[in-house]
């Protein structure tokens, strides 16, 4: 077990499953005191307990990232427990139903934008407020390859991720001289429970046929990208949009 994050505090949203769960476990394995943040208390607490059972230091905090007061409370709880926040991985997101622009329901639009874009903004807002007072830090957002290319079948999801990408770039520039680095990862299709819940026959091959590497990504591979961007090895990196997608966007 490496300890490159020894003495640091990392907070991951959407950490109860999939990419977020893999990231929480990975940050903890690398020595970070880890905050597991998610809407699902049962799964989230299970992830935190697994980290503790493996010798790490973690706690679960329930949060809806689309609610500003809850996000403020998440950062406050992190600082109260650990005294600081060094790394934040804003990973929480929703997919929503597949639909073109004219076929999207307003309620679906509102949910997708509230979680994927507003949620990332709220997390950054309160994380940055603390990091400015604490001498700096590193933030990574989860965007998507869908935010880099046009995908009409998931129009609003794609737009929400494109907005997150641009907000990441702006934040990276805004705070570059103030000790805060802001980057994002753009996962391709990842082998998580979410894709298997779609009910598509042979779902892995269905999606993998569009990937140059010929397979889906794993949650751990996306988490590794986020870990590197938060690490001191990436201390000269900010405002970067990193596809982790087996070559799909290229």
Catalytic residues: 157
Measured between alpha carbons, how far is residue 111 from residues 69, 83, 94, 119, 248 in Å? 17, 33, 8, 10, 27
The 3-state DSSP composition of the chain as helix, strand, coil percent (nearest 5) reads 50, 15, 35
Return the number of other C-beta atoms located less than 10 Å from residue 129's C-beta.
12
Q: State the DSSP string of 138-198.
A: EEEEE--GGGTS--TTBHHHHHHHHHHHHHHHHHHHHTGGGTEEEEEEEE-SB-SHHHHTT
The pair of three-digit structure tokens given for residue 12, joined into one six-digit string: 């991951």
| DSSP-derived secondary structure letter, 2 | -
Provide the phi-psi class of 14: left if phi over 0, else alpha when psi is between -120 and 50, else beta.
left
DSSP-assigned letters across all residues of 26-50 = HHHHTT-EEEEEES-HHHHHHHHHH
DSSP string, 67-102: -HHHHHHHHHHHHHHHS---EEEE--------B-GG
């Amino acid at each position: 077990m490496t300890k490159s994050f020894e003495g640091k505090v990392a907070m991951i949203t959407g950490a109860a499953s999939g990419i977020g769960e893999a990231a929480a476990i990975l940050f903890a394995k690398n020595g970070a005191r880890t905050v597991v943040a998610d809407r699902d208390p049962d799964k989230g607490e299970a992830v935190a307990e697994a980290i503790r059972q493996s010798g790490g230091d973690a706690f679960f905090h329930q949060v809806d990232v689309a609610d500003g007061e809850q996000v403020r409370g998440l950062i406050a709880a992190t600082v109260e427990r650990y005294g600081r926040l060094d790394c934040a991985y804003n990973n929480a997101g929703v997919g929503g139903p597949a639909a073109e622009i004219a076929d999207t329901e307003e309620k679906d639009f509102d949910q997708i934008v509230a979680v994927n874009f507003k949620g990332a903004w709220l997390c950054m807002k309160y994380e940055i407020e603390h990091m400015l007072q604490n001498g700096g830090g590193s933030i990574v957002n989860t965007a998507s390859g869908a935010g880099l290319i046009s995908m009409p079948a998931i129009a609003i999801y794609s737009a929400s991720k494109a907005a997150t990408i641009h907000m990441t770039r702006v934040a990276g520039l805004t705070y570059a001289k103030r000790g805060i680095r802001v980057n994002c990862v753009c996962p391709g299709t990842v082998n998580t429970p979410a894709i298997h819940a779609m009910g598509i026959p042979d779902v892995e091959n269905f999606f993998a046929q569009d990937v140059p590497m010929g397979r889906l990504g794993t949650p751990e591979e996306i988490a590794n990208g986020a870990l590197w961007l938060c690490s001191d090895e990436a201390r000269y990196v900010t405002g970067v949009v990193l596809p982790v997608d087996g070559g799909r966007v290229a």
